Amino acid sequence: MPGTTKPRTVRFTDLTLRDAHQCLLATRMRTEDMLPVCEKLDRAGFWSLEVWGGATFDTCLRFLREDPWERLRRLKAALPKTPLQMLLRGQNLVGYRHYADDTVSRFVERAAENGIQIFRIFDALNDLRNLKTTIKATIKAGGRVEGAFCYTTSPVHSVDGFVDLARRLEDMGCDTICVKDMAGLLTPQAAYDLVRKLKKAIRLPVHLHSHDTAGMAVATHLKAVEAGVDIIDTAASSMAGGTSHPPTETMAAILSAAGVETGLDLSLLTEVAEHFRKVRKTYKAFETDYAGIDPNVILYQVPGGMTSNLAIQLKEQNALHRMPEVLAEVPRVREDFGFPPLVTPSSQIVGTQATLNVLTGERYKVLTSETKNYLRGLYGRPPAPINPDVQKKAVSDEERVDVRPADLIPPEWEKAAADLGGRGGIAEDVLSYILFPKVALDFFDAREKGIPPEPLSAAAPEAASPGPIMAPSEFNIHVHGETYHVKVGGAGHPVGGRRPYFLYVDDHLEEVLVESLVEIVPSFAGRIDDSVGGVSRRPRAMEEGDVTTAMPGTVVSVKVKPGDTVKRGDTVLIVEAMKMENEIHTPIDGEVKAVHVREGESVNPDEVLVVVR
């Protein structure tokens, strides 16, 4: 930079092993595809490597049948030099709810012990009370704290407000401050203004994390460097761009041409990018149409990952054509909810609620449990007050809380360890179980039996043949030398003569459209199937008291039994769809005549789940 004697230095954090494949490949990259390039990544000269946290923990357990802790240990062994970094959602850790302080402290302690040195910690609502325990635990474990605030735009957000957050994070004992622009909203000029003010107001190094969703990332990072940013986040060029990040090689070349030191070895970076170019091809099945550059993000403020989630939700409803309405509904719900930044888990809460508002044709007629909890204050304090009319509709005054949400959660470690019994002896297993109870138990099972992960390409649907009426509901199919575990999840309404079937292929939900040519009227129509897997042969909802679900999902809990008296609006079932719990209410007063579902079964819209008369 002109006028300085010492060349300016900007350091880089590589995100290829965490955020880049989370954005581009639905977080599916396997450890075996990371290890071969680690030696080069480790020598390339990065300030840190983000390799863990975010959604990687969940997908390791749920889809890859990998122990996330084992992944961390293997990466640490392969990357001994460069500090390893993780993304931690404050009191939510790497899950979707608030956990008790004892869980949070242990999680951080084990993460540090297994290899994480830098903890990037944030809260979806920027409620810094939700960072307290993780920051304390990180300092205790000898880790470095990177305090992050979520960047967003709204009538209640301003540069001065963000600077104030950064000052408070500095006071809480952070070592670096991160501007977390998860949606790629930060324009080059806004980055310049924000970083300049931050550099004046705080003494700590400033780290910028942004996405290329709107195609602005290279320019944004360059302006941030001009304003004095200390560290920037990039990904290997073959895993960069679109909903991912700016390319490392490009940013390094731009800065080096401007006389800025990066400490990076450009020839090694080329080899790293070449490795991921090859690897990426094998994950083709997980690439989406929504990973490219989309300037609409500036209008809707919907992060890339959220757009693809919304598309999946709508596809399950045969309502993909209603995407524009849902995207228009998102900012309205966000305003009602006090302008939360849209990031996990607030993005899922707002997104699912917007989808329900559109599909039911009435705002807040159906609320998810998460929406209810959010409106109660159980996620913390949003940046602005919640719309009082919406809040009143959902929760009573007595149900509302204003304390730090985790203050209401009793310790959970001892009970979880006891529940798990002999199944998982070590602390890491107990943590996996507390974070994702059902998924972790399935994973422990698969680990014991040596069941392989989901295949990298989806099974091609075979032509339907008129088979016997009693079709199996859970089976293995052997095709093209591969074996797939298939569980029939249920069927939806036929559209244009094609009926959607929801099949779990190695636990990955696939929609298969079947155009029926020969049909046999089953003699057991309307009877409830008792087989494992709960294949759907439930009657179609016809009457007002036939309780059904608005979203295909899995029954988490059955709240009533035959003979119970219920009032209109009472919760009779809880159904999980897209990681959100939806309360299913009875539309009329009456007596429960029949319950057609059990916990763990898959359900679809229009099926009668509970009969009230």
Can you give the binding site for Mn ion, defined by CB under 5 A? 19, 182
CB of 330 to Mn ion, least distance (A): 19
Residue 513 Ramachandran class (φ > 0 left, ψ -120 to 50 alpha, else beta): beta
* Residue 133: CA count within 13 A, CB half-sphere: 24
Residue 556 CA: distances (Å) to CA of 268, 373, 406, 539: 49, 17, 23, 21
SS3 145: strand
CB burial of residue 389 (10 Å; 0-12, 13-18, 19+): exposed
Q: Which residues pair with 52 in a beta bridge?
A: 86
Closer residue to Mn ion (CB): 25 or 182: 182
* Residue 106: CA count within 13 A, CB half-sphere: 20
In the chain, the N- to C-terminal Cα span, in Å, equals: 78
Closer residue to Mn ion (CB): 106 or 120: 120
CB of 147 to Mn ion, least distance (A): 16
Q: Which segments of 54-133 are extended strands (E)?
A: 84-88, 118-121
CB of 221 to Mn ion, least distance (A): 14
Rounded Cα distance, 280 and 17, in Å: 12
CB of 49 to Mn ion, least distance (A): 15
Closer residue to Mn ion (CB): 61 or 182: 182
Closer residue to Mn ion (CB): 182 or 291: 182
Whether the CB-CB separation of 188 and 336 falls below 8 Å is answered with no
Residue among 164, 163, 215, 237 at smallest CA distance from 12 = 237
CB of 282 to Mn ion, least distance (A): 23
Residue among 490, 471, 474 at smallest CA distance from 605 = 490
Rounded Cα distance, 115 and 86, in Å: 10
Closer residue to Mn ion (CB): 21 or 106: 21
Closer residue to Mn ion (CB): 131 or 512: 131
CB of 340 to Mn ion, least distance (A): 16
- 514's CB contacts (< 8 A; 6+ apart) are 461, 464, 498, 499, 500, 501
Closer residue to Mn ion (CB): 19 or 546: 19
CB of 342 to Mn ion, least distance (A): 12
CA angle, 203 as apex, 200 and 209 as ends, to 5°? 85
Residue among 344, 335, 257 at smallest CA distance from 300 = 335
Closer residue to Mn ion (CB): 56 or 318: 56
CB of 208 to Mn ion, least distance (A): 11
CB of 96 to Mn ion, least distance (A): 17
Closer residue to Mn ion (CB): 19 or 316: 19
CB of 148 to Mn ion, least distance (A): 10
Closer residue to Mn ion (CB): 87 or 574: 87
